[in-house]
């Protein structure tokens, strides 16, 4: 299987980076191929320009796509699965990843009639969160995150979709270091089982 990983974290030294590397190790151990978009390393622009806005707002498919958007769409259409790996910021993905969706999920590609985006076999979200899973479930925020990522952004664009919240990673928590190994192992197994 060919997997497209969209990775978004501003620091090279993070638990999210460790999760990404463990996931890739799992993919490789199972013989899967992958391509990676590291949005910060690529300096991917999350801001939609005026021309992009007009294309989307007025459903004007004939207006050209920026090259960086076209490249990301090509990565999607040459893959079998898509995986998003990011830290949770205020119950949401980082703004750079939200901007990736704003710009890459274009009219005529990800939505509208005669979509150009292929239906992917699998969509996986691996997000690293400071709070505990218990907190996310008790407050309803876990369900909100799943609704946004799985039901809105991935929707019918993938056949099978899953979100894994790797929790309790805040530096103020005593269990952070115990969770580091647990989360790396879970990411490795997710890569093997994609």
Q: Which domains does the chain have, with CATH numbers?
A: 2-192 (3.40.50.360)
Helices assigned H by DSSP within 14-152: 15-29, 50-57, 67-77, 95-104, 133-139, 141-146
Residues (pLDDT < 50) of the chain are none
3-class DSSP state for residue 166? Answer: strand
Cβ proximity of 127 and 164 under 8 Å: yes
Dist CA 165 CA 46 (whole Å): 24
The token pair at 157 is 């664009």
Indicate the angle between helix axes 95-104 and 67-77, nearest 10 degrees: 80
Dist CA 151 CA 129 (whole Å): 20
23-42 b/e (C-beta count within 10 Å ≥ 16 → b)? bbebbeeeebebebbbbeee
Angle at 98 between CA 93 and CA 100, to 5 degrees: 130
Residue 111: CA atoms inside 13 Å, Cβ hemisphere, count?
Answer: 15
Helices assigned H by DSSP within the chain: 15-29, 50-57, 67-77, 95-104, 133-139, 141-146, 176-192
Cβ proximity of 163 and 149 under 8 Å: yes
Residues present in the chain in total:
194
Burial class (CB in 10 A: 0-12, 13-18, 19+), 140: exposed
What percent of the chain has pLDDT above 70? 100
């Amino acid at each position: 299987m060919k997997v497209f990983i969209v990775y978004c974290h501003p620091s090279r030294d993070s638990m999210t980076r460790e999760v990404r590397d463990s996931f890739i190790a799992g993919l490789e151990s199972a013989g899967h191929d992958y391509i990676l978009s590291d949005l910060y390393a690529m300096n991917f622009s999350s801001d939609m320009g005026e021309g992009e806005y007009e294309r989307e707002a007025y459903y004007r498919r004939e207006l050209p796509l920026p090259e960086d958007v076209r490249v990301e769409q090509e990565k999607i259409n040459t893959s079998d699965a898509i995986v998003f790996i990011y830290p949770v910021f205020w119950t949401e993905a980082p703004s750079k990843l939200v901007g990736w969706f704003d710009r890459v999920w274009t009219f005529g590609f990800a939505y509208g009639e005669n979509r150009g985006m292929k239906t992917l076999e699998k969509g996986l979200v691996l997000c690293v969160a400071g709070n505990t899973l218990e907190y996310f479930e008790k407050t309803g925020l876990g369900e909100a995150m799943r609704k946004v990522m799985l039901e809105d952004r991935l929707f019918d664009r993938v056949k099978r979709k899953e979100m894994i919240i790797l929790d309790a990673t805040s530096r103020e928590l005593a269990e952070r270091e115990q969770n580091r190994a647990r989360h790396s192992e879970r990411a490795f197994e997710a890569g093997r089982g994609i």
